[in-house]
Structure 1
């Protein structure tokens, strides 16, 4: 469990109790030693120096509590300023490890790095780590022209959990124009999905199982953006395709920005049976009924607003404390010892 000893206010302790209850009500499976692995992806809005300044300590405890419900969490929008990440790791405890990229340089990179947080008691780093570069366009082994690179460089890492070896790539796809199928967004997903699908099929691949997850800025499951993942050979469990992951969970307002996709020969017949979901922490912390208690924390910009506008300000402000995305998760069964032994009998 995270470390609570440095909590200095009653509100944080009460919020954590509600959050614990909420995580239990969400029926997120209990973490096990060897039976399964719980993966999650979470875009934590501007996690570092942001337009609203640094977060207070309170949301760091809530974020740590949520992350601690999983074995591995891919985090997007970690900024160059690592003070908050270092604080978060201190709350999680020394068995939690982090591996991350440097920021993608240039204005297109938005001062963001891509990050994996993982419980080293459950997972081990396999030695493979690299930022994804789209290869140049070639013909007859001659380079014709360089390819466009993704706005924010994806990050690929190899992990092991028991017998289960997998490569996992986290990405934050360009948003572009506020349309369902922005051409730049479609092309980024296509280029990345095709490249990773090819790597997964390579005879020298580090692992047979390839997982691609993160913020794809997909609006709806039927969009061309989603099609690029499926056309490349990735499988997205139907349950995940039905779950909006921004802060609006209803069908009309909800966006399916975040996804977890698989090319996994070992898991193909099991993926649809996996438990999966998103978790809406705003039902338990930074609730609308809590607005009045944060007036002083929000400061003069909140107090100077007309009463009718204050709730709108609070709803936006709280997304810079927690996020405007919900964590999406999936449980993968990794104990194949029984089927292995049955096959072993046939081989002997």
Structure 2
């Protein structure tokens, strides 16, 4: 496979051996926890904040780290990625490792101190997922009768439309402002609320499904929020900012652990607006704890030399700049709606098939 060719470029035999052993453990862990990808029946959707990807803040990522990141991404069909930094090399390198059949969409850099020179991105396997052409960065509208324009989100949310199997999806990914270490930070709550309400209010205009002639009912499509909301707990008022706008966290995700390394914070979320069309959760979802397999605490001594490039951080923290301080969150959807559509032909034989391949 193309992504393993990088192993031959690692000159240090001990590092190459360590990487092969890490990949072997990682592959076994992924196979045990994440369902196999299918050609047409299911969609594996994920969101992952890849810390400072790749700012070089504590040294640029090594070939080893790229091997692990690409291996994890390869297990999904469509991934929303947050904290892509201003340089596009990391995203381009991962795409190259995944193979030429992978594509990505990415925003420009969000300017300003709070923007942290970040981009939002989507990675997707073009053999399975088709980009429909809808892509936009979200700008909060000025409320009617307001004297001044609203303060925009610290990092511009990114919306894009895709088709997978029978389902059309409009995804809106975001990295919400963190602020203070309080569950109900005022600006964080304001951003989550404004983001969710704005997307919900524009739902009728955001469908990625084909638009029929006037007077013909359109496919409703599916509108989903996903990304890093910096929500501490599912019972916090910040979570209510999403649910009050009409978004629903799929049941399989309502009981998974937190997505930070300690798994006690529910920073990352995936939620759909009101109902799903031509897709449904299979019941399989989770967060993947990559540190059970690579950059384990027991491996700290193996990385002593590399850590000296930028000393002063514990191994536990340093490794999050190799991989991330977030764990990837994922959910599997059934996207084969053929049986339901065929059954509907008896009741409504004149209804056209709106799907395109």
- Asked whether the two chains share a fold, i.e. TM above 0.5, the reply is yes
Please name the residue that 1:318 is paired with. 319
CA shift digits 1:143-197 (9 cap, x unpaired): 6431111000000000011221110011000001110000111110111101111
Q: Are 1:255 and 2:265 an aligned pair? A: yes
Measured in 1, the distance between the counterparts of 2:279 and 2:169 equals 17
Residue 345 of structure 1 aligns to a residue in which SS?
Answer: helix
Please name the residue that 1:84 is paired with. 90
CA RMSD for the aligned pairs? 1.8
Runs of at least 5 residues in structure 2 that lack an aligned partner in the other structure = 11-15, 210-220, 350-357
Answer whether contact 1:95 1:120 (CA < 8 A) is retained.
Answer: yes
Please name the residue that 1:19 is paired with. 26
Measured in 2, the distance between the counterparts of 1:49 and 1:32 equals 35
Please name the residue that 2:254 is paired with. 241
Residue 137 of structure 1 aligns to a residue in which SS?
Answer: coil
Answer whether contact 1:76 1:172 (CA < 8 A) is retained.
Answer: yes
Answer whether contact 1:159 1:166 (CA < 8 A) is retained.
Answer: yes
Deviation of residue 12 (structure 1)? 1.0
Deviation of residue 317 (structure 1)? 0.5
Answer whether contact 2:279 2:334 (CA < 8 A) is retained.
Answer: no
Q: Are 1:109 and 2:110 an aligned pair? A: no
Change (3 A) 1:92 1:300: closer
Q: 1:41-52, aligned counterparts within 5 Å?
A: 41-52=47-58
Measured in 1, the distance between the counterparts of 2:196 and 2:42 equals 26
Deviation of residue 33 (structure 1)? 1.2
Aligned residues: 330
Q: Are 1:199 and 2:202 an aligned pair? A: yes
- Find the partner of 1:214 among 227, 246, 252: 227
Please name the residue that 1:168 is paired with. 171
Measured in 1, the distance between the counterparts of 2:70 and 2:247 equals 30
Please name the residue that 1:308 is paired with. none
Deviation of residue 201 (structure 1)? 3.4
Deviation of residue 91 (structure 1)? 1.1
Please name the residue that 1:189 is paired with. 192
- Find the partner of 2:303 among 294, 316, 321: 294
Please name the residue that 1:274 is paired with. 283
Measured in 2, the distance between the counterparts of 1:46 and 1:153 equals 16
CA shift digits 1:237-282 (9 cap, x unpaired): 2432332000002xxxx100000010153359944x5311000010
Runs of at least 5 residues in structure 1 that lack an aligned partner in the other structure = 306-311
Measured in 2, the distance between the counterparts of 1:195 and 1:274 equals 29
Q: TM-score, length-normalised on structure 1?
A: 0.91
Measured in 1, the distance between the counterparts of 2:148 and 2:63 equals 48
Please name the residue that 1:138 is paired with. 144
Answer whether contact 1:2 1:65 (CA < 8 A) is retained.
Answer: no
Measured in 1, the distance between the counterparts of 2:94 and 2:310 equals 27
Residue 248 of structure 2 aligns to a residue in which SS?
Answer: coil
Q: TM-score, length-normalised on structure 2?
A: 0.88
Answer whether contact 1:42 1:73 (CA < 8 A) is retained.
Answer: yes
Please name the residue that 1:309 is paired with. none
Residue 38 of structure 1 aligns to a residue in which SS?
Answer: strand
Measured in 1, the distance between the counterparts of 2:166 and 2:309 equals 55
Please name the residue that 2:71 is paired with. 65
Change (3 A) 1:211 1:2: farther
Q: Which moved more, 1:280-289 or 1:257-266?
A: 257-266
Answer whether contact 2:224 2:273 (CA < 8 A) is retained.
Answer: yes
Answer whether contact 2:169 2:207 (CA < 8 A) is retained.
Answer: no
Answer whether contact 1:200 1:209 (CA < 8 A) is retained.
Answer: no
